[in-house]
Amino acid sequence: MAHRFFACILALGIEMLPCMGQQPEKSDTVPTAVQWTLDAAGPTQRAAIRSVVLLYCPKTNAKGTGFLLSDGLIVTNNHVVEGCTAGEMRANPFGAQEFGFSRMATDKDVDLALLNPSKHLGGGLELGPDQDSPLGTSVNTWGFPLTYNGPAPLLSVGYVSGYVKDGDSGKEVKHIVVNGAFNPGNSGGPLFRANSSKVIGVVVAKFHLYPPMVAQIIQTMVAQNYGVMTFEGTDEHGNKKPLSEAQVTGMVLDQSYKTTQVMIGEAISVSELRSFLKKKKAEVQ
């Protein structure tokens, strides 16, 4: 009975996985859903919406959010592009045709990446001041959370609840703590003060309900073959592969882990972003 239960859940989970290789609309007209979003947004929000893109790498099947700067370059997190080359990364802008990139520069310590699009993109965002936002300041981000893939980005809102020092990489990096629903897929998105289109941070993380040890156990279960009973799963590309019972269980838990919404998130401060751009722009231009 348990075997059948997990097989059903796995089949459902795989069916729900987004098809990251799906081609965007080729039409020059703006998709209806995008137009509805633009119509409901004010001038400031429209500037942000038009500058946010869905980023993904078919090689790793990882996705995230990126945003266009006024100089024509796109910013995202390093963990969104990790394992991929510039040529392997793809971008889906709202209502426009998919495009790729010619160059990329990354900094794993700060968890930022800078990409040079393969075509010219108009518009873009400006950076805000380095001054810290007071606690309680309303902030928002546009992006592609969870399994949502557009075509228009979604708005997430919250407020500044503190500042922390991230030291996972061994380097001290200033993070803004936001009381707001940031989820996988929001990574790499721009953080704004309410009613502003000036970037004050880059969404990078959320707090998980599971402790790190549990997360590591889940990853191990997915990666290794511990079970005796085997199943066959089909991925989003139509490829079939055998799976053990432990892998099935791990995949179910992993999906739950990644899609759990927690109302605390983090963003890399604009001062860290400004320093990163100063060091890396020359590598991609």
DSSP string, 222-277: HHS---SSEEEEE-TTS-EEEEEHHHHHHHHHHHHHHH---S-EEEEEHHHHHHHH
167-175: which pairs have CB atoms within 8 A and are 24 or more residues apart?
Answer: 169/108, 169/109, 169/110, 169/111, 170/109, 171/109, 171/110, 173/109, 173/110, 173/111, 173/268, 173/272, 174/268, 174/269, 174/271, 174/272, 175/204, 175/205, 175/266, 175/267, 175/268, 175/269
Task: Tokens 């998105």: give the residue.
Answer: 189
Q: Do 221 and 247 meet the contact criterion of CB atoms below 8 Å apart? A: yes
| The one catalytic residue among 51, 133, 187, 197 | 187
- The residues, ordered by sequence, that sit 6+ positions from 104 with a Cβ below 8 Å of its Cβ are 81, 85, 86, 89, 113, 114, 115, 116, 284
> Rounded to the nearest 10 degrees, how much is the dihedral formed by the CA atoms of 75, 81, 84, 86?
0
Is 102 an annotated catalytic residue? no
Query: Could you tell me which of 17, 23, 60 has the C-alpha nearest to residue 151?
Result: 23
Q: Give DSSP secondary structure letters for 120-154.
A: -----BEE--SSPPPTT-EEEEEE--TT---SS-E
**Active-site residue, selected from the candidate residues 111, 133, 166, 175:** 111
Which residue among 79, 107, 175, 197 is the active-site one? 79
* Residue 79 known to be catalytic: yes
Give dist(CA 157, CA 162) in Å, integer.
15
Active site residue ranges: 79, 111, 187
